[in-house]
């Protein structure tokens, strides 16, 4: 038996989320996802560098994507515009040249 008349139900109206709080929650989640994506993108950019140089093997201008060492030196050729999306199979002399 309920000693207080009129208070026999739990007031759930005050606990229900409204449209504005749903929108704020969605915006907060979107901002967190955007920040996380930016962190991943910047971490990837720290280990790679794109340079345009004259290829010492083919003697043509090329855009080359290098994998970088922690000290900033070139470790490997990830992609070259002269070979397209195929695996880079040249002698990779651009790794050791001082061209930039």
pLDDT for 83-97, tens place per residue?
888 888 888 888 887
Q: What is the pLDDT of residue 64?
A: 92
Which DSSP helix (H) or strand (E) runs through 68?
strand 61-68
% residues pLDDT > 90 (the chain) = 32
Answer whether residue 99 shows pLDDT above 50: no
Owner of token pair 């000693």: 3
Beta-bridge partner residues of 61: 54
Taking only the tens place, the pLDDT of each residue in 48-70 is 889 999 998 889 999 999 999 88
Angle made by CA atoms 70, 46, 58, in degrees to the nearest 5: 85
């Amino acid at each position: 038996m309920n000693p207080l008349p009129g208070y026999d139900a739990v007031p759930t109206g005050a606990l229900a989320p409204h449209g504005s709080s749903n929108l704020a929650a969605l915006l907060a989640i979107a901002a967190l996802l955007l920040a996380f994506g930016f962190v991943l993108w910047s971490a990837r950019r720290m280990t790679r560098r794109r340079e345009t140089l004259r290829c010492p093997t083919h003697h043509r201008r090329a855009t080359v994507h290098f994998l970088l060492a922690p000290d900033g030196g070139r470790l490997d050729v990830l992609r070259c515009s002269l070979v397209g999306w195929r695996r880079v199979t040249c002698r990779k002399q651009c790794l050791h040249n001082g061209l930039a």
